[in-house]
Amino acid sequence: MGFFSAVKKIFSSKEQNEEAKQSHPAQEESATLSVTDNIEQDKTDKTSPISLVQEEDNKEEPLILEKDDSSLSQKDAPIATKAEGSLADIDKDFEELVLALRKTDAKLSSWLSITLENLDKADDLFWKRLTYLLKALETPQSEADIFCHEFKVWLERMDYHYINDFRSELQYRLALALGLEDEEDERDRLFLKVQQGLERTRNQLGKGLKTLFAGHDKLGESFFEELEELFIMSDMGADLSIKLVAKLRDHARANKLEDTKDLLPYLQKEVSQLFSTPKRIVAVNPPEVVLLIGVNGVGKTTTIAKLAYRAKMQGKKVLIAGADTFRAAAVEQLETWATRVGADFYSKGSGADPAAVAYEAMDKALTGGYDIIFIDTAGRLHNKSNLMDELQKIRNVIGKKHAGAPHRSILVIDATTGQNALQQTKVFKESGGVDEIILTKLDGTAKGGVALSIASTFEVPITFIGLGEKMEDLRPFHADDFAKALLGEKSE
């Protein structure tokens, strides 16, 4: 997405904000700054310039300016010349910073570079500059304060002091809070992350492809056979590997291709298309109920923390419920995460009936005005049918409490399990349904090709991928970027 749409979002009108808040109070796209537990923010704040609307990328459309700045052209207006409050409040430093910001590319990474110039620690000047940046982006003072307060608490918890320790985290938070995550800038960063995360898979597949293409100038049977072998070795599964190579062969024949290099763009397109799934209607009746399921150890609890963190950063009121009462430490582990990400928590301790926990947590979510509730479930019970029965019971009780719930049943799959992931998906899909898949631990495996297998076998979208243990290591899944990263393409 280009810079105008970013700017448009930043300057979007309060009417749009109001409309969006009323019609989509709990949508993933909402992007007000987050709220601490102590400082409860008025969610209907009419002055908020940060749009809640995920708008279409329309570079031609004129900007809608909120203040009296309607004479400003698009190019003049990526950064506000004055922030909320009187001009007298704005000191010289701020003026200088805003001037520098206005001159640079309208990208979050450039804005951040300028803001952090010559700083190395989270000292007073850092906080002042960060507030300036937010104000320059027309964030009301109250929201800028909340953002800084929350970030400060986070840095203390993580024991981060130097900008190098947390710069990436700061950019992630700003991107979420300002609704800029889908910007080109942030997508590039994500691509790099995916590429780094998939390094081991790429070593297997990407480098193998490179060697194969380098060793064969011309397309021929031996090339296709080696290609098939390579796909199978990368955990794409035999069925998919055979199917994909057959498609490539047909494509080459139909288009009378002779050189191997002419096949690459088609391969990338095909890989990316494997991930296309039909669009779904998202839940609109808050609280949105999200059930995390999957076998033990795949990363359900950590993923809940990462999802809750994202939701918090997007200004949502978040509840986490611990319905994994089977494993002794599970409830405490989840509660610790809830505290760390600033979400509220409900559970009844280990040994309690998981369906009862889910039922009571739903009560709390409904009466407490939550936007979203994440329910953690057990990954292991005495046997498989016990596990499935229990999930069904949880689904039933929450469905009775709240129409349409659970709105999203997310199956968490550990990418390091390779082809076993297919069996897991099959079992969970058959017993109650899976709306989305989150693939974790892609950073530690050469088996990233399993994503292709899952996508081609089941019509379930992969929505996020886990690329590490940090909160920012869960990112939306983009098929094209994944295909490029997997096949070893550079980001440029």
Q: What is the contact surface with ligand GTP in residues (CB under 6 A)?
A: 294, 296-302, 324, 327, 330, 379, 440-441, 443-444, 466-469, 473
Which residues lie closer than 8 Å to 15 by C-beta, 6 or more apart?
Answer: none
DSSP class per residue in 91-124: -HHHHHHHHHHHHS-S-HHHHHHHHTTT--BSSH
> Between 304 and 319, whose beta carbon lies closer to ligand GTP?
304
Closer by beta carbon to ligand GTP, 234 or else 417: 417
Supply the minimum distance, in Å, between the C-beta of residue 423 and ligand GTP: 17
Looking at the Cβ atoms of 131 and 301, the one nearer to Mg ion is: 301
Query: Which parts of 281-300 interact with Mg ion (CB under 5 A)?
Result: 300
Among residues 5 and 301, whose Cβ is nearest to Mg ion?
301
Q: Are 359 and 367 in contact (CB under 8 A)?
A: no
Give least dist CB 471 to Mg ion, A. Answer: 16
* 280 exposure class (CB count in 10 Å sphere: 0-12, 13-18, 19+): exposed
457 binds, among ligand GTP, Mg ion, none (CB under 5 to 8 A by kind): none
Q: Which is nearer to Mg ion, 141 or 336 (CB)?
A: 336
Binding partner of residue 298 among ligand GTP, Mg ion, none, CB cut-off 5 to 8 Å per kind: ligand GTP
Q: Which is nearer to ligand GTP, 227 or 413 (CB)?
A: 413
- Nearest approach in angstroms of CB 377 to Mg ion is 8
Distance of closest approach, residue 444 Cβ to ligand GTP, in angstroms: 5
Closer to Mg ion by CB, 198 or 331: give it: 331
Start-to-end C-alpha separation, the chain: 16
In angstroms, what is the minimal distance from the CB of 463 to ligand GTP? Answer: 14
Amino acid at 343: A
Task: Write down the least CB distance from residue 330 to Mg ion, Å.
Answer: 5
Are 477 and 465 in contact by the 8 Å Cβ rule? The answer is: yes
CA–CA separation, 153 vs 35, rounded Å?
13
Within positions 298 to 327, which residues make up the interface with Mg ion, using CB under 5 A?
300-301
Query: Minimum Å distance from CB 201 to ligand GTP?
Result: 13
Q: How many residues bind Mg ion (CB under 5 A)?
A: 2
Q: Which partner from the list ligand GTP, Mg ion, none does 150 bind, CB cut-off 5 to 8 Å by kind?
A: none
Residues 41 and 141 sit within 8 Å (Cβ to Cβ):
no
What distance lies between CA 139 and its chain's CA centroid?
A: 23
Nearer of residues 115 and 377 to Mg ion, judged by Cβ: 377
Nearest-5° angle of CA 360, CA 460, CA 385? 55
User: 3-class SS at 356?
Assistant: helix
Q: What is the DSSP letter of 291?
A: E
Residue 419: contacted member of ligand GTP, Mg ion, none (CB under 5 to 8 Å, by partner type): none
DSSP-derived pairing of the beta strands 462-466 and 474-476 = antiparallel
The 3-class secondary structure across 209-238, one letter per residue, is HHHHHHHCCECCHHHHHHHHHHHHHCCCCH
**Count of CB atoms situated within 10 Å of the CB of 62:** 11
Q: Are 305 and 471 in contact (CB under 8 A)?
A: yes
Site for Mg ion in 182-201 (CB under 5 A): none
To the nearest whole angstrom, how small is the minimum distance from the Cβ of residue 305 to ligand GTP? 8
Cβ closer to Mg ion: 380 or 401? 380
Asked whether the beta carbons of 334 and 320 are under 8 A apart, the reply is: yes
440 strand-pairing partners: 414
Least distance (Å) from ligand GTP to the CB of residue 291?
13
CB closer to Mg ion, 350 vs 419: 350
* Chain centre to alpha carbon of residue 318: 16
5 binds, among Mg ion, ligand GTP, none (CB under 5 to 8 A by kind): none
Residues of span 119-178 touching Mg ion by CB under 5 A: none
Quick one: what does residue 444 bind among ligand GTP, Mg ion, none, with the CB cut-off 5 to 8 Å set by partner type? ligand GTP
The structure tokens 């009462």 sit at 325
Least Å distance, CB 416 to ligand GTP, is: 9
Question: Looking at this protein, which amino acid is placed at residue 306?
Answer: K
Binding footprint of Mg ion on the chain (CB under 5 A): 300-301
